[in-house]
Amino acid sequence: MVDYKRITLAVALTLAIAGCSDAPPAGNSAAAANTAAEITAAEQSESAKANQLFEDIFMENVMRSPIYQSFLGIKDDQDKWDDISEQSALQELELQQQQLARVMAIDPAQLDAQTRISWLLMKQQLEQEIVDFEWRHHNYPVNQMFGMHSSVAALLINQHRISDVTDAEAYIARLNGLPELFAQLAENLALRAEKGILAPQFVYPYVLSDSQNIITGAPFDDGEPSTLWADFSGKIAKLDIDNSERDSLMAAAQQALIESVKPAYEGLITSVTEIAAQADERDGAWKLPDGERFYNIALQRTTTTDLTAEEIHQIGLDEVARIHDEMRVIMQKVGFTGSLQEFFVYMRNNQDFVYPDTAEGRQRYLDEATALIDTMKSRLDELFLTKPKADLVVKAVEPFREKSAGKAFYQQPSMDGSRPGVYYANLYDMASMPSYQMEALAYHEGIPGHHMQRAISQELQGIPTFRKFGRYTAYTEGWGLYSELVPKEIGFYQDPYSDFGRLAMELWRAVRLVVDTGIHAKQWTREEGIAFYVNNTPNAEADAVKMVERHIVMPSQATAYKIGMIKIVELREKAKAELGEAFDIREFHDVVLANGPVPLNVLEQFVEQYISANRS
């Protein structure tokens, strides 16, 4: 740990950002010491008040969201769902305005350095949320990537633990609460449709399929147990209760599934079908009301930079060209004769890199991904001073959502430590998960990637909770992509095909810059985006289709990875160049991780002050 350096960095950073000076007055050293002591006491008192306010604001927001409570392991409202009505959105805006007023009542000059950073981040967060209220309808509440239609089932299965009868009754209450939740969801869809905000036509079959999957199987029909019935039954079977109580809970759950869950989903399916009939094939954010301005703001929020769509597009093209050159070196190393595009076709079609589309093939993938992560765990002392306490496990994406879910993703551990972090691998289409990409994917989603980052952030001491759960996508995903590179630098990726896989994953993120801006700023079609991926990467066409469809429903999000990685590498190389032998990769990683998620410009200030504090 380097807490003393973190304090130094925080002091210098807040001076730079807030334009304040904590330097003691020149002259009599005793007077200066007394003044410093008085300031420190005052800072401690004001900082304690400020940090309590930050905790209050965080918990006010948490307690408005039973869903978020479940993710954090809080059970207070585990029998409820979020209120997603328009009225609730207006109430939330009013609350945010009140919270901002409370934050602005604090004089940042009276705070200690770390608390001043928290003040600045809380102020910025609230200001942006209030400004972005204008865009609250510029999204697609149900789509192939996320939405209440699939997330309610995922939450019940993965987050709603049943350790006693009360938990089981809360689960049943949530089943019975779905009709009201989905009625609000249908109203949200209708409101957007009135404004001309509709997802393209390709989205709706995914939503309808995922929804139908939830109400397929027993007790809805004579098939195998449905997803939710199997989950509830399995959890109840583990409870230490008498048979009569177990039978009563099972009967109540069955009734809730038939009388509440089924009609809720059937009603949603009807609503989505009606909305789908109004949709067209236009793909980009440019089609939305004031879409160009919306997308430019989305880019700013996602990248935490002022880069324009045109600049991001060009960065992507430049990175694609650079990575292609590095791939040609590997192509020569493995003795392939032909063009890079021919090598892409060879890699795409080579079945030696695809595990069997069987239960055994999927288990082999999970086992080998786990082994890669376990090996990396043994090398962490070379790279990190701070390491997470929470464990990490590897799981396959559940069948009910695997067809529409992304290639891989990470779920952070619960706040109370009862649930580990999870690296989810989507093994629905084994051809889209070639073994030569397995290594880079495991490092990105697991260790040293998102698990190191998010678990460490969650376990940090001395910073308010809202910072531990901050969501700066360029920081978060930039670290994930950077984490694919770091193992290469300590001797991993010995197999040249695996190293090619690393480059293929980086290339994928570079192409994202081109295609995201292409679709949303240059009015590319879905087909043009797919063609760019297929022509410039070795990935399967199914990967390209999924990725482009993700771009379409999540404007700007995919630009975060490469922009964030570029900035982290740039800052690291600057620190190396200026510090020489004094540079310690472990300390640099602590600077990046041990203050929690931050915007890239704030991260740059952290690193600048780390350099100043260590320059000989």
pLDDT tens for 87-136 read 999 999 999 999 999 999 999 999 999 999 999 999 999 999 999 999 99
The yes-or-no verdict on residue 602 having pLDDT over 80 is yes
The tokens for 155 are 């939450």
Query: Are 261 and 323 in the same domain?
Result: no
Range 21-28, long-range pairs (CB < 8 A, 24+ positions): 22/113
Query: Are 312 and 272 in the same domain?
Result: no
The yes-or-no verdict on residue 1 having pLDDT over 70 is no
Between 375 and 21, residue with greater pLDDT: 375
| Predicted local confidence at residue 417, as pLDDT | 77
Examine residue 305 and state whether it is found in any structural domain, yes or no.
Answer: yes
Examine residue 615 and state whether it is found in any structural domain, yes or no.
Answer: no
**Mean of the per-residue pLDDT values of the chain:** 91
| Predicted local confidence at residue 26, as pLDDT | 32
Examine residue 509 and state whether it is found in any structural domain, yes or no.
Answer: yes
The yes-or-no verdict on residue 543 having pLDDT over 90 is no
What is the domain range of residue 274? 148-287
* Domain stop point among 257, 287, 317: 287
> Which tens digit of pLDDT belongs to each residue from 435-454?
999 999 999 999 999 999 99
Query: Are 94 and 166 in the same domain?
Result: no
Query: Are 452 and 509 in the same domain?
Result: yes
Mean pLDDT score, 172-187: 98
pTM (2 d.p.): 0.86
Query: Are 350 and 380 in the same domain?
Result: yes
Transcribe 504-551 into DSSP letters: HHHHHHHHHHHHHHHHHHS---HHHHHHHHHHH--S-HHHHHHHHHHH
Q: Is residue 123 exposed (0-12), middle (13-18) or buried (19+ Cβ within 10 Å)?
A: middle
Distance, in Å, from the CA atom of 454 to the CA atom of 597, rounded to the nearest integer, reads 9
The tokens for 499 are 């190293």
Give the type of residue at 467. R
Distance, in Å, from the CA atom of 236 to the CA atom of 250, rounded to the nearest integer, reads 8
| Predicted local confidence at residue 40, as pLDDT | 67
Q: Strands across the sheet with 421-425, in order?
A: 392-396, 421-425, 408-411
Residue for token digits 């765990």?
377
Query: Are 253 and 329 in the same domain?
Result: no
Examine residue 610 and state whether it is found in any structural domain, yes or no.
Answer: no
* Domain stop point among 272, 287, 302: 287
Query: Are 341 and 379 in the same domain?
Result: yes
Distance, in Å, from the CA atom of 224 to the CA atom of 227, rounded to the nearest integer, reads 9
The yes-or-no verdict on residue 405 having pLDDT over 90 is no
> Which tens digit of pLDDT belongs to each residue from 130-178?
999 999 999 999 999 999 999 999 999 999 999 999 999 999 999 999 9
Examine residue 347 and state whether it is found in any structural domain, yes or no.
Answer: yes
Distance, in Å, from the CA atom of 602 to the CA atom of 304, rounded to the nearest integer, reads 10
Query: Are 483 and 562 in the same domain?
Result: yes
Distance, in Å, from the CA atom of 307 to the CA atom of 345, rounded to the nearest integer, reads 34
The tokens for 473 are 């996508």
Positive/negative CA dihedral, 419, 487, 513, 431: negative
Query: Are 188 and 258 in the same domain?
Result: yes
Domain tally, the chain = 3
* Domain stop point among 287, 311, 334: 287
Examine residue 582 and state whether it is found in any structural domain, yes or no.
Answer: no
The yes-or-no verdict on residue 34 having pLDDT over 60 is no
Under the banding of pLDDT at 50, 70 and 90, the label for residue 42 is low
The tokens for 66 are 């039973």
Examine residue 596 and state whether it is found in any structural domain, yes or no.
Answer: no
Query: Are 382 and 527 in the same domain?
Result: yes
Examine residue 163 and state whether it is found in any structural domain, yes or no.
Answer: yes
Query: Are 311 and 224 in the same domain?
Result: no
Query: Are 169 and 302 in the same domain?
Result: no
| Predicted local confidence at residue 400, as pLDDT | 76
3-class DSSP state of 579? helix
Mean pLDDT score, 549-576: 97
